[in-house]
Homo-oligomer: A and B are copies of this chain.
């Protein structure tokens, strides 16, 4: 997962991008990068760590210009920072520097890369983003090298042609000396919203970034849309036409964004995350009530809203029975001697006394590996002293890995892919365990079966099917590329 942000026509473009990335920090804590443009050149700085850590006043001062785009990146191992950092930037293209920031994933990018390599392209990174960049730059080089003027039309056409054959998930921001471009893949897997702040256009993965800088949410970028914001002149929209079978697959917004990933105060895919989650909780209460429970306890902060909905529906008292530490998110020295369930203790602490002898409903948004859940359950039992723990999950079992941009473990590591609900219940050590049904989830999210990508729950991968199948096979064979 990643977060992307961009802004035009502002003397403080880099600073606003820094704030925007800060608001999107939950989408990626490992690295942050900003590229700014002053109409002549683009400057790019990338740093490991949180936005606030890497983007120091000195760095921001160096990022001159009135257009900027930025990127926060999720978990890639430290060593490869320098290679995979974003925005990526090509130098000396037909339009000068061209930077790109990408949220999403292209399942078949290795095949695409080989094709470009045969034609003579060099690759400096191992990322799918570079493939998108090469595709677009080559298209530009083709059309522009004879002193042809770079118009929005030409740029739109180039991007449209370059991306049309590519299947996968991509919300993109691009920056050249003259243009800021926002793109969303034809299926709209990942969110991307347009906002307005005085004379500036702003673009963000999630709308809470607009709130921080005082911008007004205008609309979502449409699936397949290429929005070109020139330094001078009006914005122009173009559209990518997907090819072949994939053209017939409708919108595939990622339901997991609503379940877990997005901030509760964000709107995306035309929905408020908060309301969707409250509804998931209510639906869960209807599908899987616990009788005579003493209280409902959320795993904070990601399941608090769902727990509100659950408790309200069943008129059970809600208790903030797990206190979350505010000081996590940085490297922590591992203890030499074993402190049982230490990683969970660092983040969460049960309120002593509150749960002693109680029959507790524990609400979480989802279970991925199950290891953290097990530790939390044990803390509630041992430190908190709960008598019965009934776990309720406000989404279906996660059985399939995501190939469209959510960072998930392999199939083998997904507990629900390997064990039955009963076995998971045993593994977690809870007195009962129930999940929300897929139907219930879709209903709570305000959509029907066809209106979301829910492959992680259902295994129904609709785009780049061949590449996905190969990846799944590789994994089955124990090879990971």
The chain A residues found within 8 Å of chain B, CB to CB, are 11-12, 15, 18-19, 22-23, 25-26, 43-46, 50-53, 55-57, 60, 62, 79, 82-83, 89-94, 113, 116-126, 133-134, 137-138, 141, 145, 207-208, 211-214, 217, 263-265, 267, 272, 274-275, 301, 304-305, 308, 312, 317-320, 323-333, 335-337, 339-340, 345-346, 349-354, 383
In the complex, what distance in Å separates the CA atom of A120 from the CA atom of B123? Answer: 12
Q: 7 A-B Cβ contacts within 8 A?
A: A19-B335, A25-B325, A51-B327, A117-B141, A118-B141, A120-B141, A122-B134
Cβ of A321 to closest chain B Cβ, rounded Å? 9
Cβ of A53 to closest chain B Cβ, rounded Å? 7
Cβ of A353 to closest chain B Cβ, rounded Å? 5
Contact A326 B133 (CB under 8 A): no
Contact of A351 among B53, B265, B336, B339 (CB under 8 A): B265
Contact B272 A352 (CB under 8 A): yes
Interface centre among A119, A141, A333 (most CB of B within 10 A): A333
Contact of A333 among B18, B23, B90 (CB under 8 A): B18
Contact A119 B118 (CB under 8 A): no
In the complex, what distance in Å separates the CA atom of A234 from the CA atom of B78? Answer: 36
Contact B126 A352 (CB under 8 A): no
Cβ of A297 to closest chain B Cβ, rounded Å? 12
Contacts of A51 in B (CB 8 A): 327
In the complex, what distance in Å separates the CA atom of A350 from the CA atom of B274? Answer: 11
Contact A211 B345 (CB under 8 A): yes
Cβ of A98 to closest chain B Cβ, rounded Å? 9
Contact A332 B82 (CB under 8 A): no
Contacts of A19 in B (CB 8 A): 335, 339
In the complex, what distance in Å separates the CA atom of A463 from the CA atom of B420? Answer: 64
Contacts of A275 in B (CB 8 A): 353-354
Contact of A92 among B56, B82, B123, B336 (CB under 8 A): B123
Contact A349 B208 (CB under 8 A): yes
Cβ of A173 to closest chain B Cβ, rounded Å? 18
In the complex, what distance in Å separates the CA atom of A94 from the CA atom of B134? Answer: 18
Contact B123 A138 (CB under 8 A): no
Cβ of A304 to closest chain B Cβ, rounded Å? 6
Contacts of A312 in B (CB 8 A): 317
